[in-house]
Amino acid sequence: MAAERLVIKVGTNVLTRANQQLDYNVIHQIVEQIGALRRAKHRVVLVTSGAVGASYGLGDFAGERQELVRKQMASAVGQPRLMQIYTDFFREQNIAVAQALLTRGDFSDRKRYLNIRNVVDGLLEMAILPIINENDVVANDALTFGDNDYLSAAVASMIGADRLFLLTSAAGFFLGGDPAGRKSTRRVPEVQGITPEMWASCERTLTVGGTGGMLSKLKAAEMATGFGIRAYVASGKEPDVVPRILAGEPLGTMFHPTRKRPRSYRQWLHFATLTTGRILVDEGAHRALRNNKSLLPAGIAKVEGEFNQGDIVEIYNGQEEKLGVGLVNYSAQELQAIIKDKSARTRGEEAIHKDRLLLV
- DSSP-assigned letters across all residues of 233-264: EEETTSTTHHHHHHTT---SEEE---SPPPPH
User: In this structure, what CATH number is given to the domain that contains residue 279?
Assistant: 2.30.130.10
Q: Give me the helices (H) in 275-331, please.
A: 283-290
Q: pLDDT at residue 98 above 70?
A: yes
Of 266, 286, 302, the residue that ends a domain is 266
CA-to-CA separations, 145 to 160, 246, 302, 314, 324, in angstroms, rounded: 19, 28, 29, 18, 19
262 and 345 in one domain? no
Q: In angstroms, rounded to a whole number, what is the distance separating the alpha carbons of residues 194 and 233?
A: 13
Q: Which of 214, 239, 266 is the last residue of a domain?
A: 266
β-strand 43-48 against 129-134: which pairing, if any?
parallel
Q: Which of 256, 323, 270, 255 is nearest to 292 (CA)?
A: 323
- The better pLDDT of the pair 186, 29 is held by 29
Whether residues 166 and 250 fall in one domain: yes
Query: Are residues 241 and 119 located together in one domain of the fold?
Result: yes
pTM comes to: 0.79
pLDDT above 70: percentage of residues in the chain: 88
130-176 per-position pLDDT tens digit: 999 988 777 655 445 667 898 999 999 999 999 999 999 888 998 87
Are residues 214 and 66 part of one domain? yes
pLDDT score of 249 more than 90: yes
Handedness of CA 305, 310, 314, 315 (dihedral sign): positive
Same domain, 23 and 103: yes
Alpha-carbon span 32 to 90, nearest angstrom: 8
Both 21 and 91 in one domain: the answer is yes
Query: What is the rounded average pLDDT of the residues 242-267?
Result: 88
DSSP code at position 295: B
180-211 per-position pLDDT tens digit:
555 557 889 999 988 888 888 775 444 444 44
DSSP E strands in the chain: the ranges are: 5-10, 43-48, 97-102, 129-134, 163-168, 174-175, 186-187, 190-191, 230-235, 253-255, 278-281, 300-304, 312-316, 322-327, 357-359
Q: What is the pLDDT of residue 8?
A: 98
Neighbours of 228 (CB within 10 A): 17
Bridge partners, residue 284, by sequence: none
- The per-residue pLDDT for 104 is 80
CA-CA distances (angstroms) from residue 115 to 77, 99, 111, 130, 139?
A: 27, 15, 6, 14, 19
Which amino acid is present at 356?
R
Could you give the maximum distance between any two Cα atoms of the chain, in Å?
Answer: 70
Burial class (CB in 10 A: 0-12, 13-18, 19+), 62: exposed
Q: Do residues 121 and 214 both lie within one domain?
A: yes
Looking at the fold, whether 99 and 46 belong to one and the same domain comes out as yes
Q: Please check whether residues 132 and 239 belong to one and the same domain.
A: yes
Which one, of 12, 54, 52, 14, lies nearest residue 33 by Cα?
14
Rounded percentage of the chain residues whose pLDDT exceeds 90: 39
Instruction: Looking at the structure, tell me whether residues 132 and 21 fall in a common domain.
Output: yes
Q: Which of 246, 266, 286 is the last residue of a domain?
A: 266
With cut-offs at 50, 70 and 90, classify the pLDDT of residue 319. confident
Q: In total, how many domains does the chain have?
A: 2
Say yes or no: 188 and 160 in one domain: yes
Query: Which of the four pLDDT bands, split at 50, 70 and 90, describes residue 340?
Result: confident
Taking the CB of residue 143, how many other CB atoms lie within 10 A of it?
A: 17
For residue range 260-274, list pLDDT tens digits in order: 877 777 777 766 655
Residue span of the structural domain in which 305 resides: 273-359
The Cα 15–Cα 273 span in angstroms is 32
Q: How far is CA 353 from CA 297, 327, 356, in A?
A: 11, 8, 5
Q: What is the phi/psi pair of residue 347, to 5°?
A: -105, 160
Identify the CATH number of the domain in which residue 108 sits: 3.40.1160.10
For the cut 50, the answer to whether the pLDDT of residue 14 exceeds it is yes
Most confident region among 3-12, 57-66, 263-272, 329-338 by mean pLDDT: 3-12
Judge if 229 and 288 occupy the same domain.
no
CA distance 335 to 265: 24
